[in-house]
Structure 1
Amino acid sequence: MTTHDPIPARLAALKTATTPELKAQWRDLFDSEPPPFNRRYLESRLAYRIQELAYGGLKPETIRRLERMGEELDGGDRKKSRIRADMTPITGTRLIREWQDVEHVVTVTADGFEWQGRPYKSISAIARAITGTRWNGWVFFGLKSRRARA
């Protein structure tokens, strides 16, 4: 006896559902009001959620890996990125910081920073990797004082 998997049919039905129907499904599946985004966004998030509930979510090790990758990125704040770009030392500059009797050397690259042979988009991600705690990388490497930050 074969069992029929209803999930592919539910996913296909998203394409023909009306926007009010999609929003009703959102309320059922997320237990919250739908965001004011376009139909395509609603469809994709609903499709993911339907599959997540039926088949399970991401594995814990995948979530951890994604979190680590996210920490290496700038965080997506375009305004802060532009400000930092104006303040970034010129390519090739070496930033040196001693932490717990270990000297750490970071090289400024054209598209970010490099530490221990690995590229980083955020200097704060490097400071966190070195210290194990959240730091403002500009403060950690002495490019900005704590007082100037406030």
Structure 2
Amino acid sequence: MTHDPIPARLAALKTTPTPVLKAQWRELFDSEPPPFNRRYLESRLAHRLQELVYGGLKPETIRRLEQLGEELDGGDKKKRGMRADRDRPITGTRLLREWQRVEQVVPVTADGFEWQGRPYKSLSAIARAITKTRWNGWVFFGLKNHRGRT
């Protein structure tokens, strides 16, 4: 019986220093890591490690996703990358942030965002509710760095 090292590697991501995570990103994706929060890096690295060892999506899954994309945009792949607000995360995305040892989860909805079951129009309002201080919501959730670049 062979030992599968992937579960241990996935568990180790939680305690790996961020600079090491970024180095792993460069190695596994052959690109610079995005400026998103640590949690995003962990989840994408975990997915990539599993994909490389266990295989990616099945060809029929890829075909189905492409078919759904064509239904959405009529086959115009350029439209797939275009959104009214390019910086806004795609509906269904879950933003994660740990604040004072409590994980905060904010789903992106069609109308804005949701936190603790309540709808919000802005991430800044959610960040303010969580921290009780003024924050740029995009910075708080790691979608922009403190200089305003995405």
TM, length-normalised to structure 1: 0.48
Q: Which structure carries more relative contact order (alpha carbon 8 Å, separation 6+)?
A: 2
Larger radius of gyration: 1
TM, length-normalised to structure 2: 0.48
